Amino acid sequence: MQQPSEPLLRIEGLEKSFGGNKILNGIDLAVAPHETVCMLGPSGSGKSTVLRCINWLETPDAGAIFLRDQRVGCHEDGKKPMSDRELSEIRARMGMVFQSFALWPHLSVLQNVMVAPIHVQGRPKTFVREEALAMLDKVGLSDKRDAFPSSLSGGQKQRVGIARALVMKPEVMLFDEPTSALDPELVGEVLQVMRQLAREGMTMVVVTHEMAFARDVASHVAFLDQGRVAEHSTPDAFFTAPKTERARSFLKRYTRGS
Amino acid sequence: MQEGDYLALLTGAWTTLAIALPAIAMGAPLGLALALIRWRKIPVLGTIAAILVSLFRATPSVTLVLLVYYAVPQIGIQLAELPAAIITLTLGTMAYTCEIWRGALMAFPRDQYDAAMAMGMTRGLRFRLIVLPQIARASLPALVNEMTLLIKVTPAAAVIGLVEITRAAVRVGAETYQPLPPFLVALVIYAVIIGTLVGLQRYLEHRQTRALAI
């Protein structure tokens, strides 16, 4: 498929095993600026592992990740691993949203959003506070800024999670099944925020089971199966005429009734 | 009991605190350090930490205080009674609090730690801003419990000649031929010390932690 410009994020030949189980078996993927790529696939196909390798929460066994041509996790030769500080610097350029929200329960909503820009990026506190408030406003949670995470609904927690990542001004946002832990009636409010982000031109990699979201929002979809990208196409092509049998049976299961 | 007897018991209380408070102040952070070494599974150091913890937990305080008092001068360091007692109880507290901290570290949610990494926090920031405030809170009841136990093993320091509360009560009882009154006073003093500790715990538990991290 045709790339509109140089990829912002590039994954090459990614391999990863857990306890002798090969989860990723040579993943290649490129994400151009302002694109939303949805990774779809049956559970266990390795989608989340790919995402966690991108910001080095998991260390791949083989392959390489590039963020704007800078190698993630190791230095150019691919041998010398990055130090804790170097890893932290490159991770700070990528936002991540977790299935389990992973908010910090000892901090208020506003503190959750403010803590990293202040301590990681060293931005001035008053400035960060204004941006954090603006970000909470954007996800519709201004009135919750002094609340603690335990008092929020799942949908609210996830929107805080998105605000927390956005305030770092990331070059790319990684979403790891952001709506899978939510009650069905709360999914919409999170997807709405993500749609808005996509419209504003944020570069996003989204692991999801929300087929309607993928169909409407994705620039292209990558269908993962057995640790490989089995299909990589536009949402139109993927949802109307999937090329592989595995994708057809997957779609049959996930779009049933919708 | 006369005024002088009460004074003797209060002096004993001072000695008890002079042993216990430094032992708590040093033992709890040292225990955290050992717990972190074990938690990160640092080779060699982790094993040494595990052996130290087992050793100090297995040794009665009386035995340990005698060992420290008589063993340390062998390597050429003169050690007075009070420092010897403080060192002994510091080692014991270190071992017990190590296990308390380690339990809290092992129970710490992985996803919160992942989130801290994903936000670009270095190892030090992750620990200071995210992990420590939460494990300190989770460990507080067990830590205070350990402190009350520590207060109650301070009489072990009497074997090397320190006159803490219980030893002072024995003396007063022997001099006045009335053992009961000094022990009742001793009981009250212990109750006040431990009550203060528990009160401090309550205060910390109810205090808002909002000003803590940022």
Q: Is the dihedral of CA A121, A127, A133, A136 positive or negative?
A: negative
Is-contact B93 B23, C-beta < 8 A? yes
Which stretches of chain B sit within 8 Å of chain A by CB? 109, 111-112, 114-123, 125, 129-130, 133-134, 137, 209-210, 212-214
Q: How far is B204 from chain A (nearest CA, A)?
A: 14
The interface predicted TM-score (ipTM) is 0.93
Contacts of residue A98 in chain B, CB cutoff 8 Å? 111, 114-115, 118
Residues counted in chain B:
214
Alpha-carbon distances, residue A202 vs A64, A79, A174, A206, B181 (angstroms)? 23, 32, 11, 12, 78
Strands ordered across the beta sheet of A36-40: A94-97, A172-176, A204-207, A36-40, A220-225, A228-233
Residue B204 in this model has a pLDDT that exceeds 90:
no
The answer to whether residues A251 and A41 touch, using CB atoms and an 8 Å cutoff, is no
Nearest to A109 by CA among A75, A143, A61: A143
The pLDDT mean for chain B works out to: 92
What is the domain partition of chain B in residue ranges?
Answer: 3-111+140-213
User: CA A78 to CA A71: how far, in whole Å?
Assistant: 8
DSSP state of A81: B
Residues 6+ apart with CB under 8 A from A81: A73, A74, A75
pLDDT of residue A255: 72
Please indicate whether, in this complex, the C-beta atoms of B115 and A115 are within 8 angstroms of each other.
no
pLDDT at position B211, please? Answer: 44
Strands A220-225 and A228-233: antiparallel
- Residue from the list B116, B123, B214 with its beta carbon closest to the beta carbon of A84: B123
| Residues of chain A falling short of pLDDT 70 | 1-5, 256-258
**B38-44 long-range contacts, CB within 8 A, separation 24+:** B38/B98, B38/B102, B39/B102, B39/B105, B39/B106
Q: Is the dihedral of CA A227, A232, A235, A240 positive or negative?
A: negative
Residues of A in Cβ contact (< 8 Å) with B212:
106
**Average pLDDT in the B29-36 region?**
96
- Chain A residues with beta carbon closer than 8 angstroms to that of B209: 106
Q: State which fold the B3-111+140-213 domain adopts.
A: MetI-like fold (1.10.3720)
**Residue A107, pLDDT score:** 95
Cβ-nearest to A106 among B116, B122, B209: B209
**What's the rounded Cα separation, in Å, for the pair A14 and A80?**
18
d(CA A12, CA A64): 5
- pTM confidence score: 0.89
Chain A residues close to B213, C-beta within 8 Å: 106-107, 111, 115
Report the pLDDT value the prediction gives residue B208, as an integer from 0 to 100. 55
pLDDT tens across A189-236, in order?
999 999 999 999 999 999 999 999 999 999 999 999 999 999 999 999
Cα-based distances in Å from A255 to A225, A233, A245, B39: 17, 18, 15, 45
Which amino acid belongs to residue B2?
Q
What chain A residue is nearest to B110 in terms of C-alpha separation?
A102
State the average pLDDT over residues B35-40.
94
| Residues A10 and A35 sit within 8 Å (Cβ to Cβ) | no
Bridge partners of A9?
Answer: A31, A67
The fraction of chain B above a pLDDT of 90, given in percent, is: 86
Distance CA B24, CA B133 (A): 19
User: Which chain A residues have a beta carbon less than 8 Å from that of B123?
Assistant: 84
Could you tell me which chain A residue has the CA closest to the CA of B117?
A: A88
pLDDT tens sequence across B123-147: 999 999 999 999 999 999 999 999 9
Strands A172-176 and A94-97: parallel
Q: List the one residue out of B156, B133, B159 whose CA is nearest residue B19.
A: B156
Q: Where are the alpha helices (DSSP H) in chain B?
A: 3-39, 45-58, 61-71, 81-106, 110-118, 123-125, 132-153, 165-176, 180-206, 210-213
Cβ(B166)–Cβ(A152) below 8 Å: no
